[in-house]
A = this chain, B = another copy of it.
Amino acid sequence: MKQLPETDLYPKQGWHLETIVNELKELRQAWRQEYNHLDLNNGHYFPSQEVLHHTVKTLAHVLFPLRLGPAHLNTETEDYYVGLKLDTALNSLFAQVKLELAYNYQFQSYSPDENFHLEIQAKQLVYDFAKTLPTIRKNLDLDVLAAFNGDPAARTVDEVLICYPGIKAILYHRIAHELYLKDLTLIARMIAELAHSETGIDIHPGATIDSGFFIDHGTGVVIGETSVIGKNVRLYQAVTLGAKSFPKNIDGSLQKGLPRHPVLEDDVVIYAGATVLGHVTIGQGSTIGSNVWLTHAVPPHSYITQSSH
């Protein structure tokens, strides 16, 4: 047994917490003073990933109540469930949207008028989002069919819906993307990262993805913010749709918001490990082979393999 150090810890029970608490406090204060402009509302309320996780799971249950919802549901009770849980999810999202708006507006305290405007704006945004849920469901149905048709190991559409990480990723993405379109970029990103953590598939909420989208296996896939993906596109694991380089402004800071990721037209297939970089178009019906490294556009119906380019 090692020689014990000299110590004043025993037999006192505590941890001398006060010192550590104070040091951490000073570090927080220093950060807030220095990076106030980056940390917009200086330490005030902020959306919660835990709450959003619960919200987005509830929305998934609302979209597919008998498959993703609780085991006891049946056709007699599914509408009651959908109505009740939709209300729960929207109220929860409403609270998070208010936090993001307050953060964006750098509100630290609220006058009655400011608060009223915030409430009504958040209400409208969530309500508009809610109205897109049927469209989201419709697109997800097509995604499920695409996966079923594209994978010889798939036995039923229900297996696809429940088991395939690619379906979970696109389900979360379709929700996140609608919020991104409403400038709720923070919440949208938080939802995207929940999917990333659970599936290893990293789709930026800004990516525009049409219906019938299928990612098989999925781990390691990265899809950048300004990617545009057509109908019935299929990707395999470890595919990257990335940016080539980041143009800078005159002052050396990165230019944000430019289109910098690939455009995949309808019916494109990209096999595992391929990398497509930059704002280039992959023509309709093209196939990109495994591990291909591609930084230029290809015409429709191209077939690119490692050796061919």
Binding site for B on A (CB under 8 A): 1-2, 4-5, 7, 9-18, 20-21, 23-25, 27-28, 31, 35, 38-40, 43-51, 62-63, 65-67, 70-72, 74-84, 86-88, 90-91, 103, 105, 109-117, 119-121, 123-124, 126-127, 130-131, 133-134, 137-138, 141, 145, 148, 152-153, 155-159, 162-165, 185-186, 189-190, 192-193, 196-200, 202, 204, 206, 217-220, 222, 224-225, 237-238, 240, 242-243, 246, 254-256, 260, 272-273, 275, 290-291, 293, 306
Name A2's contact: one of B121, B155, B190, B197 (CB within 8 Å). B121
**Contact status B275-A290, CB under 8 Å:** yes
A247 CB to nearest B CB, Å: 9
Tell me which residues across on chain B come within 8 A of A273, comparing CB atoms: 273, 275
Name A49's contact: one of B77, B86, B116, B162 (CB within 8 Å). B162
Total identical chains: 6
**Contact status A158-B46, CB under 8 Å:** yes
Tell me which residues across on chain B come within 8 A of A242, comparing CB atoms: 272
**Contact status B86-A72, CB under 8 Å:** no
Sample of 13 A–B contacts (CB below 8 Å): A7-B120, A10-B123, A15-B76, A20-B134, A27-B141, A72-B87, A77-B84, A80-B82, A115-B115, A152-B254, A159-B186, A165-B197, A238-B238
**Contact status A66-B83, CB under 8 Å:** no
**Contact status B165-A24, CB under 8 Å:** no
Tell me which residues across on chain B come within 8 A of A78, comparing CB atoms: 25, 28, 43
**Contact status A193-B164, CB under 8 Å:** yes
Given contacts A5-B124, A197-B165, contact A74 B13 (CB under 8 A): yes
Given contacts A15-B130, A117-B1, A196-B165, contact A157 B240 (CB under 8 A): no
Given contacts A5-B124, A39-B156, A254-B152, contact A220 B193 (CB under 8 A): no
